[in-house]
Amino acid sequence: MGLCEKIKAITSHFTKKMYKSEQKTCDSDINEDQPLSTENITFSFCDIGFLTSEDFISLVSDELKVPYDIVEKGIARIVKDIRKDVICCVEYPYVDTYYRDTYYSFYSRKHSYQSRYCFRISFFSNIVNAENFYEHSDFTNLFYGYMVLRPTVRRVIGYTFLSPLLFEKQEFVCCLCKKNVSVYGRELSITGFPFCGQDGEALTCAETSLIMIMDYFSHKYNKYSQLLPSQVLRILSRYSNERQLPSRGLPSEMLSFVLRKLGFGIRIYTRQQKIDKDCPYLVNGDKDDCLYQQNGDVGTCHYLLHKGEGSCPRQQNEDTDYEVYSDEEFKRLLYIYIESGFPIIVCTSDHTYLVIGKENKLGEDNIRLVTINDNLRPFELINYDDSITSFIVPLYGKIFLDAEMIQIDEVIKSLEEELRKLDKQENSTEDTFKIKKDNTEYIYRYFLTTSKSYKEFVTQAKVKDSRELFVSMAMPHFIWVCEMIDAKMLDAIDPSRAPVSNIMIFDATEGNSSSNYFIMAKLSDRVIVRTEDNSLYRRKNYKQFKGIKDIFYTFDRNLKGKHSKWQE
C-alpha cells in the first residue's frame, strides 16, 4: 500500500475524531501489515496534531522498524513548542544524504536488515494545503523547513532544517543560513539552522556537532563543503590507531583536529576546573590537605591511583598547547564569540553540542544561550552554567587577533595619551579629554565582523558627520569592534538596542598583543584615526576630527532575529 492511501485514511479518521472536520478519505482499507511502497514517492498533508497521534507513530514505527517509544519521544521533542497554525506534508520514501552515507559505511555491513529509506515531514503555514500547493507563487514565510525520521533504533530524528519561525517563542538572535529544498516538486528556500540527532552507534553527539557546523558553513560560504560521516572517519584515521566504528565519541582535541584539517583557524578555550569540596581525596574537607598533594609526589597520588593515569589534577593541562581560563574570563570569551556570529562547539564532561546565539539582550548576566543540542529541540534556550568545560571556535584562517589579546584598558590609556599630545600640538585650551567618564559604569560589547558589513551598517545609520571617515578608512577584511555602552541606558530603552558611547575598531589580522592593532575610534565628540607617515619606517601617527557628535546604536548584523525578519 502507498503512503498516500495509508496516511490519508488514518488522517481522516484522526481528524474527524479530534477536530470533527470533514476530510476526503481513500476507498482502500488500511492494512497495517502491508509495507509502504518504495517504488513511488508519495506525499500526504496532515494537521500538526497528527504527528503525535498513536496511529502515525505506529505507522512510522512499523515501517522503520524502530520501537514505538523511541519514535514517540523523538517526535515529541521536536514538535512540543511548534506553532499550532502549521500543516505538515509527510513524504515517503525519502533519501537523506547523511543517513545514506552512514548506511553504506556502517549499517549495510550488519547481518540484520535495516532500511535505506526515511520519512520526511515538511512544515508549512496552514494557508497551504494539497489543493492549492501549486497555486502559491511565493513560499516566503509559508515554508518552515523539514524533519527527517530515519530507521535508527536509538534515536529516530535525522537531518532536520527548521526556521525559528516554526516555533512560538522567538525572543532570541542566532546564526542562520539559507538552504534550497525540493518538496512535492517545488523548489523552495528556507532560512534556518541544521539539526540532527546522534544515532548512538555510528554517530555520537561529537560527530553530529561537527557535521552540523560544517553543514551550516557549506550553506553560508562557498569556501566550505558538507562533511559526511564517512569523511569524518577518513580524517580521524590519520589521528587514531583504533577503529572508529562503532563510535565511542570524540574529545575536544579530535574535534579541533578535524576542523583544522578543513581549513579553520581553531581556538580552544578551557575553563579552570574547581576542586570538588566533597572530593573523597580531601582530608576533612581541607583543600590544603588534599591527598593528591601528599608529599608533593604525583607518583603516589591517591587520585591517580584510583582514577587512572592522566586524571591527576596536578597533571591536567600540563602537556596541552592551550590555556586555562578563570570562570569569569571563560564566560566573557564565550559571549564575545557568540556576539561575533560564530556557531560554537561546546563540551561538557559527557556531552557535546552547538551554541549558535543568545537571548536578544545586551550583556552577559542572566542571558540564556541558543543551542543545537540533540537532547533538546532546535533553538532551545538554556542557562549558562559551570557544566561547560570547554568550547571550540572555528575562526577564519586569517584571523590572528584573539579576543583575549585585546587589552581595552591599555588601549584607552594609550589613546588618551595620544589625544593629549594632539591637543597640545593644536594649542587647545580644552580640559583633558577622558574616554571613560567619571562616575559612569560601562558595558563592553566586543565582536568580530567584516569591514564590509560594518561599513554597510554605518552607511545606513544616521551618522552623516562620521560616515565618510568610516567608509574611506582602509581596513582588513575582518575587524574587531568594541562598543562601550552606558549601563544606565539599558534600563530606559530596548535592552537589545542601545546608543553607544564609544566605538573602537581593531585589526583582526594583527597577531601582536600590543596596542598596534588599533585602527580608529568614534568617541563622544570626535573621531580619532591612526595613520602612517611617508618615512621609510612608516611610523604610526594619530589624527583627530573634533565636533563629530553622531549617535551610533549597537551593531546588529552578526546574529539574525526579528529585526532581520529571520532572514540571512
| 139-164 b/e (C-beta count within 10 Å ≥ 16 → b) | beeebbbbbbbbbbeebbbbbbbbbb
Closest CA to 250 of 213, 312, 203: 203
Residue 550 has pLDDT above 80, yes or no: yes
pLDDT tens, position by position, 37-63 = 667 889 999 999 999 999 999 999 999
Cross-strand pairs, 357:
174, 370
pLDDT tens, position by position, 393-432 = 999 989 999 999 998 988 898 888 888 888 888 777 666 7
Averaging pLDDT over each range in 372-376, 438-442, 488-492, which range is the top one? Answer: 372-376
Q: Model confidence at 11, in pLDDT bands (50, 70, 90)?
A: low
First to last CA, the chain: 41
Cα–Cα distance for residue pair 402/405, rounded to 1 Å? 5
pLDDT tens, position by position, 289-341 = 444 444 444 333 443 334 444 444 433 444 445 578 999 999 999 999 999 99
pLDDT (average), residues 264-281 = 74
- pLDDT for 515 equals 61
DSSP characters for 232-263? HHHHHTTT-SS--SS-----HHHHHHHHHHTT
Residue 123 has pLDDT above 50, yes or no: yes
- pLDDT for 14 equals 46
| 39-77 b/e (C-beta count within 10 Å ≥ 16 → b) | eebbbbbbbbbbbebebbbebbbbbbebeeebbbebbeb
| 59 SS3 class | helix
- pLDDT for 191 equals 96
Indicate yes or no: pTM above 0.75.
yes
Residue predicted with more confidence, 212 or 299: 212
Cross-strand pairs, 481:
447, 505
Enter the C-alpha cell of residue 50. 497528527
pLDDT (average), residues 122-147 = 93
Please give the share of the chain, as a percent, with pLDDT higher than 90.
Answer: 58
Q: Model confidence at 101, in pLDDT bands (50, 70, 90)?
A: very high
Q: Model confidence at 230, in pLDDT bands (50, 70, 90)?
A: very high
Which residues, including other chains, have CB under 8 Å from residue 140's CB and lie 6 or more apart? none
Helices 97-105 and 229-236 sit at what angle, rounded to 10 degrees? 50
Residue 370 has pLDDT above 80, yes or no: yes
